[in-house]
Structure 1
Amino acid sequence: MPRRTRTQPIPPSSQEEGYLGGQILVAMPNLQNPEFAQTVICLCAHSSEGAMGIIINKPIEGMSFDDLLKQLELAPVPPQRRIRMCQGGPVEGGRGFVLHTKDWTSDASLPVGEDLALTASIDILKAIAAGGGPRSGILALGYAGWGPGQLEDEIQANSWLSVDPDEALLFGEGAGDKWRQAMAKLRVDPLLLSGAAGHA
């Protein structure tokens, strides 16, 4: 399973041949770990050094975007814009990341595939709260991390399928439906899947 102990995300190497940076990982039904069962993960970085991703379908309970801005003492509250918030993974749960469209970036933004970026600086929250920032985004607390070769082993063990990202899946509402949406995008009925299914 993804590690809990990495202290820094791996710099994205999204375009390396044979790696899946920028893709969506969809947990197979046989993945029973409660932290990752039926998760949908945007894989932000994947290279020979390991992988880092953001779970996009686990809402944060008991905290709103307005609450977060108040904690960070950011104005305006109430903000002119809000974005969906999610539990990004078990590593560094107090650290925030915004996964977003690439129409807004800063020096602190890391590219994720062709159309997305990941920004961990407070500037993006200020921009969104003020009514600007990227067209679409989600705020994640924490991330999922894998060591060298670990994700490849899990894929070989049929724990994950991969699918191309799209904005509706990444940024749309209805977090609880995203696993089935991702399976539908793969044209897969999860009830028909067995542990013998391979990488898509």
Structure 2
Amino acid sequence: MRFQFALPLSIAAAVLFLPLDVAAQSMRVQDLGVGKLLVATRDAPDPHFAKTVVLLVQLDGNGTLGLMINHPAKVPISRALGQLKAAKNRSDPIYLGGPVEASMVLALLRARNQPDDARRVVGDVYMISTRPLLEKTLAAGTGPSEFHACVGYCGWGAGQLEKEMKLGVWYIFDGDAKLVFDSDPDSVWSRLIARIELKVERWRPPAGQGWEKAPLTATALRIAHGAMR
């Protein structure tokens, strides 16, 4: 058999005929890229990434690097970056960028023009990875609607993220500055997941055909996307 998952026929049919633009998201490896957002599925196995949204900032043959955008810590920048004079009066929170190298500080900046030594990620969003530019940005008083400092990052070795995609761990969304600097970051994951599930709900078969007994999993959605391409 082509598909090896236990769903009633009516449910499988509903999955296979989901619209191509389910919440404008993808589960295809070929859609990975710098500036994309990874949204963890509800059944993502790694607790480090539970209910997480990750902005991809680097992707090449050596691996992938990303920053979580929806986990502000309860620690202000002034405390987290106390060694930097320019951070002294910052009350906005430091962000948890990921579980790798928690002592490393990277930042995301929204700017009309690309600053020197900054790397463009998507649209007018840039990544800061040098101390001089970080200090300069802090000294300029750039607010939290345009600047997030992150400790740690998400890292995948060569081929590792691609393998997770094939296992149905992540959804891919187009990057968007408004989401990166959302005023309510704690709700970003739930809002994106709700967009997906709302689309799925519209395509459920009538009640009584077994759908409610077999919830749609990330694996089933991944298979559906593959079948529709």
TM-score interval for Structure 1 and Structure 2 normalised by the shorter chain: 0.7 to 0.9
Q: Does the aligned pair in 1 maintain the 2:45–2:169 contact within 8 Å?
A: no
Task: Tell me the TM-score normalized by structure 1.
Answer: 0.76
Q: CA deviation at 1:181?
A: 2.1
Q: CA deviation at 1:46?
A: 1.6
Q: Which has the higher contact order (CA 8 A, sep 6+)?
A: 2
Alignment partner for residue 86 of structure 2, among 58, 75, 78? Answer: 75
Map of 1:36-185 to 2, 5 A cutoff? 36-61=49-74, 63-69=75-81, 71-75=82-86, 77-79=88-90, 83-122=92-131, 123-132=133-142, 136-184=146-194
Match of 1:12 in 2: none
Aligned residue type for 2:46: N
Aligned residue type for 1:179: W
Task: Tell me the TM-score normalized by structure 2.
Answer: 0.67
Match of 1:25 in 2: 38
Distance 2:87 2:62 in 1: 40
Match of 2:47, SS state, is coil
Distance 2:144 2:52 in 1: 25
**Residues 37-56 of structure 1 deviation map (CA, whole Å, 9 limit, x = unaligned):** 11000011122321100011
CA RMSD of aligned residues (A): 2.8
Aligned residue type for 1:177: S
Q: Does the aligned pair in 2 maintain the 1:103–1:134 contact within 8 Å?
A: no
**Residues 103-125 of structure 1 deviation map (CA, whole Å, 9 limit, x = unaligned):** 25433212213432110223234
Distance 1:181 1:100 in 2: 23
The change in CA–CA distance for 1:76 and 1:55 in structure 2 (over 3 A counts) is closer
Q: Does the aligned pair in 2 maintain the 1:19–1:47 contact within 8 Å?
A: no
Q: CA deviation at 1:193?
A: 4.1
The change in CA–CA distance for 1:56 and 1:132 in structure 2 (over 3 A counts) is closer
Aligned residue type for 1:24: L
Distance 1:141 1:87 in 2: 5
Q: Does the aligned pair in 1 maintain the 2:145–2:183 contact within 8 Å?
A: no
* Count of aligned positions: 179
5+ residue gaps, structure 1, are 1-16
> Higher helix proportion, which one?
2
Q: Does the aligned pair in 2 maintain the 1:20–1:46 contact within 8 Å?
A: yes
Match of 1:169, SS state, is helix
